[in-house]
Amino acid sequence: MIANTLPKSLQDNPRLDQWITILPGGGVMLRVGKVEIGQGITTALAQIAAEELDIAPGRLVVTAGDTAAAPDEGTTTGSMSVEMSGGAVRLVCAEVRGLFLAAAAGRLERSVSGLSVRDGAVMAGAVATGLNYWNLAGAVPLAREATGAVSVKPQSAHRLVGTDMPRRDLALKLSGGGFLHDMVLPGMAHARVLHPPLIGARLEAVDAAVIERAGASVFQHGNFAAVLAGSAAVAEAALAVARPVWSGGAAIGPVMEEAGWLVGREAIHSHFGVAGEASPGDRIRAVYTRPYISHGTLGPSVAIAEFDGARLVIWSHSQGPYPLRRHVAALTGLAETAITVRHAQGAGCYGHNGADDAALEAALLALHHPGRPIRVLWTRADEFAQEPVGTAMSVEIAAALDAAGRPVDWTATIWSAPHVGRMFAANLLPFQALPEPPAAVAMVDPAPEGGGGASRNSVPIYDVGPCRVDVHLVQRPPVRTSALRGLGALPNVFAIESFLDELAERAGVDPVEYRLSILSDARARRVLVAAAEMARWARRGPAGTGAGLGIGLGRYKNKSAFAAVAVALEVDTEVRLRRIWCSVDAGLAINPDGIRNQVEGGIIQAASMTLKEQVRLGSEGIASRSWAEYPILRFSEIPPIETVLLDAGDEPPLGVGECTMGPTAAAIGNAVAHALGARIRDMPFTRERIAAALLAGG
């Protein structure tokens, strides 16, 4: 394979030595800009590197997400790491291997064609030549640009790629270490931030005396305030007695909890695609919603920052060390070159949680306490109430049908708050607390061709005729919103796949058969049929018995992995999941076990969101501030899950981290409708909604 266009990560970081360093003593350092957030990416990238370099994976040292030592690959989001970073690593390592073989051929005065590499040693056939990556390193400078012109291995030659390589980070994490939360610097101060209850609230007073009596000190700058102490326990005690007085802020309340509140608000409008000629009266329509969703990271956000008077170093579990560095520079006034951001692992984040805010807070505190490392730790209540949540969304689909009841003209109308708030300083807490906060800017989502935000997966992968999507991005939602796993994909796939089941029922056709009648994409058909067969779809019973079987299909971002999910469940006063089946086409699978882990995790998380989750709002801000107030699925609520990865040959690897979320929500929605004989179009599927659907449907 010759790359015609280099992956973006390689265009942005073209030098080979930005990625690979041959280490003295038999190691190789792999440098990547994508970071480990529990998805196993460093293991998969190491696997790709070891494959193309022909070395044992154990020789690799991976440096990920360090602005002083690793390439800038933006943020680790959107299931793009294997496609982007993996694509770059594959080309770089193939090229590095080629350079060493060429150098060896020169030394040995023979042609490259008879040479190969075995665990870093250059071989002539089965005979070791005595040359290897380490003793040739001085003769092979890697400070040169990648050409992308070296062939990478075909799938048939893979020995490591495609195998279930164990995660590199688990042993340490199972032995008590592995997280930024565990890091201690000498002389470190422990800080807890006094966060405002409402967006835009003003800090009127902080009682410094009571904080000092607790053994801590207080730092205030504009509307930003924090307590600092020599120990975590004292900082906690000071936080407990600190009674900051706030005034003002944008009023919110429970009436704003549902997506319906967004409909008709002041918004930025955009649209793409062209609708057909059908008049509104000729269209069938339905509205589907989901509420605000918490990322619900298990470990509240943490950061450590240290300023020596000239240079600022920050340790953060942010998904984007380089973008974070730009924000730190803007907040502190330091040059980017004076700032280093080092990624260290946190708990799974599933998008933009409190990580970046905590890092900026630590940076601000460190700047004002030179020589003293500052550790900021958020409380559980902070993480629920202060993090930017995944936005509520309302999706209305309207379609005109042909005589057979198939869609021939399709529109979607979406109301949503912004899905990506990470790049806007005005959307980050420490900036909002400045004496003169940055002016609000128009917060627009990524363009549809870049994957979209609210519009992600809004265009069906089915043959539905002309299709137009209107997006209304509400700029002043009641709560701060930002990226949550899959952005708009979950609500959009839930809406499309629910709507298709409703159309199938209207047409009197089996839902799988109906889908296949409007689905020409061969790969999508294959995953749909595979999941249906696993679930013994042919034996599906009648509707309205209390037991349901439903299915959902999607291709994440319309360009990444394909996934179909089938769910069997029972409904009485609540939904009980019984079995889940999943089929995935992820293209070339780098690490099949890693894919299964991500795919099943996505299923469970999406099931939790669909059945249980909703951020609650009160007059004092977000009211759901504990796991008791924001329940998620537990062990006893999770059924057996069976997953198959379909062989996709040498098709390029496709991102999988988010591919099962939408299909799972849809399959549950369709199974509940099958069980009840009545449909619920609003997530989560609470007892009240089940009762209401039965009343309306019965």
Partner 1 sequence: MATTFTLNGDPVTIEGAPTALLLDVLRNGLGLTGARYGCGEEQCGACLVLVDGVAVHACGREVGTLAGRDVVTAEGVPEVIRAAFIAEQAAQCGYCSSGMIVAAAGLLGRVVRPGRDEVVAALDGNLCRCGSHPRIVAAVLRAAEGMAP
CB of 379 to partner 1, least distance (A): 7
Give whichever of 118 and 213 is closer to partner 1, judged by the CB atom.
213
Shorter beta-carbon distance to partner 1: residue 6 or 374: 374
Query: In whole angstroms, how close is the CB of 226 to partner 1 at the nearest point?
Result: 18
Shortest distance in whole angstroms from residue 184 CB to partner 1: 7
Strands of the sheet containing 467-474, edge to edge, are: 267-273, 467-474, 407-416, 393-401, 284-290
Give whichever of 195 and 674 is closer to partner 1, judged by the CB atom: 195
The nearer residue to partner 1, 163 or 220, going by C-beta atoms, is: 163
Per CB under 8 A, residues contacting partner 1 are 37-40, 164, 166-167, 169-171, 173-179, 181-182, 184, 231-233, 236, 296-300, 345-348, 350, 377, 379-380, 593, 597-598, 600-605, 608, 626-628, 632, 634-636, 638, 640-641
**Least spacing, CB of residue 635 vs partner 1, in Å:** 5
Q: Pick the closer one to partner 1 by CB: 240 or 447.
A: 240
Whole-angstrom CA distances from 674 to 542, 549, 669, 677, 696 are 8, 7, 9, 5, 15
Q: How far is the CB of 348 from partner 1 (least distance, A)?
A: 3
Asked if 552 and 667 count as a contact pair (C-beta separation under 8 A), the reply is yes
Structure-token pair, residue 215: 């053994």
Write the CA distances from 517 to 108, 122, 235, 282, 513, integer angstroms. Answer: 63, 55, 63, 22, 6
- Under 8 Å between Cβ of 341 and 325: yes
Query: Shortest distance, CB of residue 127 to partner 1, whole angstroms?
Result: 37
CB of 604 to partner 1, least distance (A): 3
Least distance (Å) between residue 54 CB and partner 1: 25
308: buried, middle or exposed (CB in 10 Å: 19+, 13-18, 0-12)?
Answer: exposed
CB 210 within 8 A of CB 242: yes
Q: Looking at beta carbons only, is 528 or 603 nearer to partner 1?
A: 603
Bridge partners, 304 (sequence order): 315, 375
Assigned token pair, 375: 């550790």
Q: Whole-number minimum distance, CB 146 to partner 1, in Å?
A: 32
Q: Counting every residue, how long is the chain? A: 698
Of 73 and 169, nearer to partner 1 (C-beta) is 169
Residue among 87, 32, 86, 37 nearest 63 (CA): 32
Least separation in angstroms between CB 298 and partner 1: 5
CA distances (Å), origin 295, targets 417, 547, 596, 614, 679:
16, 31, 21, 11, 27
Of 390 and 465, nearer to partner 1 (C-beta) is 390
Structure tokens at 608: 């939790």
Which of 67/597 has CB closer to partner 1? Answer: 597
Cα angle 479, 256, 223 (rounded to 5 degrees) comes to 30
**Residue 588 contacts by C-beta under 8 Å, 6 or more apart in sequence?**
155, 161, 162, 648, 649, 650, 651, 652, 653
d(CA 467, CA 628): 43
Using the minimum distance from each CB to partner 1, give the nearer residue, 8 or 167. Answer: 167
CB closer to partner 1 out of 233 and 696: 233
CB of 177 to partner 1, least distance (A): 6
DSSP state of 195: -
Quote the least distance from Cβ 258 to partner 1, whole Å: 24
Query: Which of 180/512 has CB closer to partner 1?
Result: 180
Neighbouring residues of 628: CB distance < 8 A, sequence distance ≥ 6: none
Helix extents (H) in 307-428? 321-332, 355-367, 380-386
Give buried/exposed letters for 501-537 (b at 16+ CB in 10 A, else e).
Answer: bbbbbebebbbbebbbbbbeeebbbbbbbbbbebbeb
DSSP state of 78: T
